[in-house]
Amino acid sequence: MSDFAEAVQALRPQLMRFAHAQLRNDAWAEDAVSETVLAALAKPQAFAGQSQLKTWLVGILKHKLIDQIRRHSREVSATTDEDGEDIDGLLFDETGTWREAPAEWGDPEATFGQRQFFEVLEVCVEELPGVQGRIFMMREWLELGTEEICKELKITATNAWVLLHRARLRLQMCLQERWFGHKPAAV
Amino acid sequence: MKFLQRNCRQVTELVLAGEDRRLGLFERWSVRAHLEVCKACPRFVRQVKLMRQALPRWRAYRESLD
């Protein structure tokens, strides 16, 4: 095997992790990664060292992930019970008032200076349920607009907004619980 | 201006919607009007802002992992 092929293969496990976080399905993730590796090995001259190998491969992977999403759009957008859970009901009473007022999270820069914060954020994103997780990843990791998300998944904009709304609320709750609720009072 | 009145749940919904679509004029007004009189929701707005700033850094962080 050439050095290039070896370097590409060595990054496979990392590509698998990204693919799985996006698709949440082993078989589809495996397909997306295999297609990425094949595409990379078929065109080594396209790499030409203009960026890091990993960055280049992740760029290819993102396209392959969108192909998978398109191919399996019906299953990708099949909501689970967890997707339907009324997150707002946990946070607000019948009059629409906060059951418990949101906490002060303090200075963002101080938070971003801590690497562990991003580990927690990563866990919180990975724990987003089913379709919410996939759509959130499409929006925030693949950086797709809601219009494109709706087109690929064949869902309505309202549907996408509801799922993104719940995903963002879950993320807020998770960060409060796992990070901000644990650190000493904000300065 | 009663038609502009929204409760915290509705304002939260609009604030989050603003991350994924452009809010209409009345929506923006009603959010602003609520934030002026509410103590809790401005904190939520700051939380959303922090999450918005965190996400590009999270992308960079996860792609830099070995």
Which of B6, B9, B31 best probes binding to A when mutated, by most A CB atoms within 10 angstroms? B9
Task: Say what the pLDDT of residue B65 is.
Answer: 72
pLDDT higher for A186 or A14?
Answer: A14
Q: How far is A43 from chain B (nearest CA, A)?
A: 22
CA closest to B14 among chain A residues: A165
Task: Say what the pLDDT of residue A51 is.
Answer: 74
Averaged pLDDT, A24-46: 94
Domains of chain A, each with CATH number or no CATH:
3-71 (1.10.1740), 79-180 (1.10.10.10)
CB contact set of A112 (below 8 Å; sequence gap of 6+) = B53, B54, B57
Task: Say what the pLDDT of residue A148 is.
Answer: 95
With beta carbons less than 8 A apart as the criterion, state whether A186 and A104 touch.
Answer: yes
| A187 pLDDT above the threshold of 90 | no
With beta carbons less than 8 A apart as the criterion, state whether A152 and A70 touch.
Answer: yes
List CB contacts (< 8 A) between A146 and chain B.
20-21
- Classify residue A185 by burial, with Cβ atoms within 10 Å: 0-12, 13-18, 19+: exposed
Residues of chain B with pLDDT under 50: none
Residue A129: name the closest of A80, A94, A172, A164 by CA. A80
**Residues B21-38 pLDDT 10s:** 999 999 999 999 999 999
Answer yes or no: do B47 and A121 touch at CB < 8 A: no
Task: Say what the pLDDT of residue A186 is.
Answer: 47
Answer yes or no: do A102 and B20 touch at CB < 8 A: no
Q: How far is B16 from chain A (nearest CA, A)?
A: 6
Q: In terms of residue numbers, what domain contains B13?
A: 2-64
- Tokens at residue A123, please? 């866990």
| A93 pLDDT above the threshold of 60 | yes
CA closest to B20 among chain A residues: A146
Average pLDDT of chain A, as a whole number:
92
